[in-house]
Structures are given as C-alpha cells and as structure tokens.
Amino acid sequence: MLFYSLPGLCQESSPELADEGMTLYELLKAGGWTMVPLALLSLLALGLIFYFFFALTQRRLMPNDLFLQLRGLARDARWDDVYRICNVTRGPLPSMIMSGIRQAEIDPNNIVEAMQNAGDREVQKIMRQVRYLSEVATIAPLLGLLGTVLGMIDAFSFIAVDISMAKPVTLAMAVAKALVTTAVGLIIAIPAMAFYFYFRGRVQSIFSRIEEAAQELADRIRQEPPGRR
C-alpha cells in the first residue's frame, strides 16, 4: 500500500509522470545504499519469526512425555536414571533437575534455589535470542532515517547547484524518494517489535509451567534426596 500511495502522490504533482509513475523497483532504488542493510534486516527478522514460531513451543521446551517419565522415575527414587536422562536431553527442565540433584548431594536445603538459578539461566539464554527481534526493531528505523537524511542532502544539494530545478514538483519528488527509507524502516520495525513482545510473553508463559513441574520434582528430591554420586 505504501509503495502505491507514493507514486499516486507524485502523479498528482507531476503531470508528465501521470501515465507511468514510479514502480516498486524504482522506489526501492531511490532509497540508495541504505536499502541493502534494510533488506538484510527484513530477511533476518522474517527468519527469526519463523524459527521462534516452531522453536518456542511447550512441546519443544517441556515435552509432556519427558515430564511424565521423569516424574515416574522420581517417585521410585531412581535418581541415577533421572540424572542419566537429563544429562542426554537438552532443555530447561532437564537442566533444572540436574542442578537440583547435584545440589541435593551437597546441601539439600538449597535444592529449590539451585533449580531456580538454573531456570533463570535457561530463560536468559532463550531471551537473548528473542531479543534479536527487538534489536532489529531498533536499528531498522535508524537506518531508514539515515537514508532519508542522505536523500534530503542529495536533493537540496542538486537544487542548490541548479537553481532552475527549484520547483515545487521537483522538490516534492525528491522528498518523496528520500522518505522511502524511513517508511521501509518502520515497515520492518513495527512487526519485529510486535513479534518480540509476543514471543517474550510466550516464553514467560511456558516457563511458568516449567517452574511448576520443576517444583513438583524438587519436592520429591527433598523428600528422598539422592545419595552421593
């Protein structure tokens, strides 16, 4: 919609462009070299969004069958099997349980604290990845603004050299071209920031369930702590 509205504006101001207007390629080309990093940022944001949609799910971060298996082994106090499974399984819950078992062999009174610390580390590790979307949303508008400023400098420098070009239509066309990068930067930044908040909320929701499961297993570890390994 954006790329069609700009040509429409230019057509109203310039009769000689009324028949052809500016194509999408011409508008993107008018943005200059800043369109290259903006295009790369858009691809990065798109790739991250698709990745997080599939990676940040409860089925991947806390498989229900894994939890049931660990809970069954914990009820039988089969800590060697629990530790072995957690040691070969990647994920927040196995990491928290391993920390709890190791702490139980040192000081059973700090099992919950050790598991919470492990959970916090797992959350931070995931949020460092999700935060890339926030960084894209911060950088894209700045790049767009830089492209606009450079475009305005070029436009007014051109008019200053040739005063005969200082016409409202010519100036409007130059400003419209310069504003393309700002618009593209915002088009990238707004969805990136929206998805950042969405995935951050999803991570918090999933980890609240993981903490509930870890608390149940922590209670079992305290009731019948494993012996020294």
Least confident of 121-125, 171-175, 206-210: 171-175
> How many Å apart are CA 23 and CA 20, to the nearest integer?
8
Smallest Cα–Cα separation from 46: which of 195, 224, 183, 214? 195
- The pair of structure tokens assigned to 76 is 């039988």
> How many Å apart are CA 111 and CA 109, to the nearest integer?
6
Mean pLDDT of 140-148: 91
Whole-model pTM? 0.78
> How many Å apart are CA 205 and CA 211, to the nearest integer?
10
Mean pLDDT of 166-174: 65
Considering the chain, what is the average pLDDT of its residues? 81
What is the maximum span of the chain, computed from C-alpha positions, in angstroms? 90
